[in-house]
Amino acid sequence: MKFFNYSTVILAFLCSVAVSAQEPVQVTVTEDAEAPIISKHIYGHFSEHLGRCIYGGLYVGEESMVPNTAGVRNDIIEALKELKIPNLRWPGGCFADTYHWKDGVGPKDERPTMVNRWWGGVTEDNSFGTHDFLNLCETLNAEPYLAANVGSSTVKEFTEYVEYVLHQGGSPMAEWRKENGRENPWDVKYWGVGNEMWGCGGNMTAEHYADIYRQYATFMTDWTNSDGLFRIASGANVDDYHWTEVLMRDIPKHLIEGVALHSYSFVEWNEKGSSIDYSEEQYFSTMKTALKMDTLVTKHSAIMDKYDPNNTIALVVDEWGGWYDVMEGTNPGFLYQQNTMRDAMIAGTSLNIFNNHARRVKMANLAQTVNVLQAVVLTEDEKMLLTPTYHVMKMYNVHQDAKLLPVDFDSPTYKFEGEELPAISISASKTDAGQVNVSMVNIDAHKSHTVEINLGDMDIKDFSGTILSSEDLQDHNTFDQPEKITPKELKKVKFRKGILEVEVPPFSVLVVTGK
């Protein structure tokens, strides 16, 4: 005779009723003539002389057996082209304020070596310098963003760099550039005036840096006579709102085009944890710091609004991403970590935040491009793989230079041990050609959510989509399984009478496109 555990049956029944009764997330998307354009530069990247980002990553040298163009790996060039990266920040980071650009131009065999004091104490030969970087940007059709030395440099060295890069000819620096093989100047619009001046850039006060910035910016000249330089001040560390207040108050508007902001996502600053072997508690904590980006952008923007109501100065989040302990057995100064579905969650939610704040956020730079922190590409000798973060950024590039469509919804919550986070993140846009794009993230580690999106009277005939998901939150691509996590076609998309309905599985990223 078979006995039933009635309490178990009742509990299962109640759970099934609760799931079936779960209300869909109701989202309203509207068109607003005053809504901003989502700048493509929000999808920028960052490559520092750090670990194997440049040497052994992007740059293998012209004599390498790895197929390359002028020493840069061909497979990475093609991957970044596919990603449509709009800009690339270089050479740092902390490295920028110890880098002397003249050491990295001229014949490679005559360049002096240097010790990278910030990252591992390694000796570099300066074989990858300004020409190499700016020529790479031309190959990628990406705008260069030069982070120039303020911390250990002089106004003279800084302004000679601008002259070397931008002056047409007849000046000492322009003639030296021509001697070094580049006849015409490069088109470099974006210039960072130092990096993290509150820390590795000089441990300055905001008031002191504001004066230093004014001095350097005064002597920067746009020798190309184009639409002007875009000068970016070294901005706040996370929630240092005083820093932003001082820069906006003390720097005249005609001397500044952008203010930076740096914020990373981690478990705890002193105990970041493994990039692959993490618990749900660590995942939840990481997502909590990632989602704080919305508060940071909101509050820094409010300060900027007070001094710049006409929105002429951009907020530039030029360092963001996940930061964990280095992979076991690797140099602790190289910051090499793996990239899992947790990083896909960070990427998707962060980009949604930037998109929705596109009125003030005009540029952002993921840290970093290759082999460092939340990289989009990992390499091992001749092998290369694309990370989940790469796939998210490629899925999202439909938003580049599209008009923001404001979204309104109440997110369900992701609950863990008495704490709650919004589970669903959404941003939407519309291109000049009328294509509507909606990106969605569900950070909940267990629950899926049905999302119903009301598109009103938009003239859309049909939707298709892609999804990035996996069986386990800790899943990642390896050199043995480089395609374990790749985007798939989203097969269950319902669109009827202006309502788009999709199921968003746990820890997944979706992008749906309508025409």
One domain for residues 216 and 309: yes
One domain for residues 199 and 102: yes
pLDDT of residue 5: 44
40 has pLDDT over 80: yes
Last residue of a domain, one of 401, 427, 445: 401
Q: Tell me, yes or no, if 382 is annotated catalytic.
A: no
| Across 288-299, average pLDDT | 98
Output phi, psi for 234, to 5 deg: -65, 115
294 has pLDDT over 70: yes
Question: Which residues fall within 8 angstroms of residue 14, CB to CB, at 6 or more apart?
Answer: none
One domain for residues 350 and 415: no
Whole-number Å distance between alpha carbons of 467 and 443: 14
Provide the mean pLDDT of the chain: 94
pLDDT of residue 407: 97
One domain for residues 79 and 126: yes
- Residue 178 placed within a domain: yes
pLDDT of residue 225: 61
- Residue 222 placed within a domain: yes
The 3-state DSSP class for residue 437 equals strand
- Residue 441 placed within a domain: yes
Retrieve residue 53's tokens: 């980002």
Q: pLDDT tens digits, residue range 186-206?
A: 999 999 999 999 999 999 999
pLDDT of residue 104: 98
- Please state, for a pLDDT cut of 70, what percent of the chain lies above it: 96
Closest CA to 442 of 351, 375, 348, 357: 348
Whole-number Å distance between alpha carbons of 435 and 11: 46
Q: pLDDT tens digits, residue range 426-440?
A: 999 999 999 999 999
Closest CA to 376 of 66, 82, 50: 82
Whole-number Å distance between alpha carbons of 307 and 212: 20
Of 221 and 420, which is predicted with more confidence? 420
- Residue 10 placed within a domain: no
pLDDT of residue 185: 96
351 has pLDDT over 50: yes
- Residue 17 placed within a domain: no
Whether 161 and 176 have beta carbons less than 8 Å apart is answered as no
Catalytic residue among 143, 160, 163, 196: 196
Retrieve residue 464's tokens: 């298709």
Cβ-count burial 300-334 (b if 16+ within 10 Å, e if not): bbebbeeebeeeebbbbbbbbbbbbbbeeeeeeeb
pLDDT of residue 457: 83
Diameter over CA atoms, the chain: 100
Sign of CA dihedral 450, 455, 460, 465: negative
pLDDT of residue 226: 65
Whole-number Å distance between alpha carbons of 135 and 149: 20
Query: Where residue 14 falls among pLDDT bands split at 50, 70, 90?
Result: very low
Retrieve residue 118's tokens: 């910030």
One domain for residues 230 and 109: yes
Catalytic residue among 175, 319, 382, 501: 319
One domain for residues 444 and 494: yes
Output phi, psi for 287, to 5 deg: -65, -30
Of 459 and 119, which is predicted with more confidence? 119
pLDDT of residue 223: 80
Last residue of a domain, one of 401, 436, 460: 401
- Residue 2 placed within a domain: no
Q: What is the DSSP letter of 59?
A: B
DSSP letter string, 240-264: -HHHHHHHHHHS-GGG-SEEEEEEE
One domain for residues 394 and 476: no
| Across 276-291, average pLDDT | 97
Q: Tell me, yes or no, if 34 is annotated catalytic.
A: no
pLDDT of residue 462: 87
One domain for residues 329 and 198: yes
Least confident of 10-14, 385-389, 481-485: 10-14
Give Cα 154 to chain centroid, integer Å: 30
- Residue 233 placed within a domain: yes
| Across 266-291, average pLDDT | 95
Question: How many distinct helices (H) and strands (E) make up the chain?
Answer: 10, 27
Query: Where residue 269 falls among pLDDT bands split at 50, 70, 90?
Result: confident
One domain for residues 396 and 412: no
One domain for residues 321 and 347: yes
Q: pLDDT tens digits, residue range 303-314?
A: 999 999 999 999
Cis, bond preceding 168 (omega within 30 deg of 0) = no
Last residue of a domain, one of 401, 423, 452: 401
Query: Where residue 4 falls among pLDDT bands split at 50, 70, 90?
Result: very low
- Residue 9 placed within a domain: no
| Across 87-110, average pLDDT | 97
CATH number, domain containing residue 356:
3.20.20.80
Of 515 and 414, which is predicted with more confidence? 414
CATH number, domain containing residue 448:
2.60.40.1180
One domain for residues 329 and 429: no
Of 371 and 16, which is predicted with more confidence? 371
Closest CA to 325 of 291, 390, 373: 373
One domain for residues 432 and 361: no
| Across 141-164, average pLDDT | 97
Whole-number Å distance between alpha carbons of 85 and 375: 13
* Structural domain range at position 255: 40-401
Retrieve residue 504's tokens: 């968003």
Q: pLDDT tens digits, residue range 242-251?
A: 999 999 999 9
Task: Indicate the number of domains in the chain.
Answer: 2
Task: Please name the helix (run of DSSP H) or strand (run of DSSP E) that holds residue 507, with its range, or none.
Answer: none
